[in-house]
């Protein structure tokens, strides 16, 4: 089992199944929401994800049609996101984990939106758009 939390520890969660699809996303939204050069996310099913404390502190923001991003309303940490069209899958913000998830990044997505001043220096696969448009 993996555990994780927001920065202030108000929202705490557990993951009881394997994480998959770990990607670094360079889209404009991930860069703005995370305040970094890219956002790192992985997939987990809702069946394997459970909020332990702080459910009432989570607030959702629709960043694009049908995509909700869930944040701690106290500290602002972006904990996870989901698509209305696939409510059984969570896009977990991998930086919220307390431990090593046991998986490594599989690639960079939305490289067409990459910050012009950032140079990708690893050998991971790169995709101009999302993983469904490889």
Q: Which helix (H) or strand (E) holds 68?
A: strand 67-72
Say what the pTM is: 0.89
Reported as a single tens digit per residue, the pLDDT across 52-110 is: 999 999 999 998 899 999 999 999 999 999 999 998 999 999 999 999 999 999 999 99
Q: For residue 62, what are the domain limits?
A: 2-133
Q: How much is the mean pLDDT over the chain?
A: 94
Report the number of distinct structural domains present in the chain. 1
Residue 122 is part of a domain; what is its CATH number?
A: 2.170.150.70
102: left (phi over 0), alpha (psi -120 to 50) or beta: left
User: Is the separation of the CB atoms in 25 and 38 below 8 Å?
Assistant: yes
């Amino acid at each position: 089992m993996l555990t994780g939390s927001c920065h202030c520890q108000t929202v705490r969660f557990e993951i009881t199944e394997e994480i998959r699809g770990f990607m670094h996303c360079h889209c404009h939204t991930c860069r703005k929401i995370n305040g970094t050069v890219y956002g790192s996310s992985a997939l987990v099913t809702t069946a394997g994800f459970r909020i332990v404390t702080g459910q009432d502190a989570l607030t959702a923001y629709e960043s694009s049609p049908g995509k909700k991003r869930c944040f701690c309303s106290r500290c602002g940490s972006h904990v996870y996101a989901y698509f209305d069209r696939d409510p059984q899958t969570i896009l977990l913000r991998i930086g919220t984990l307390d431990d090593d998830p046991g998986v490594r990044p599989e690639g960079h997505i939305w490289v067409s939106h990459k910050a012009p001043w950032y140079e990708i220096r690893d050998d991971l696969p790169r995709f101009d758009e999302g993983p469904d448009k490889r």
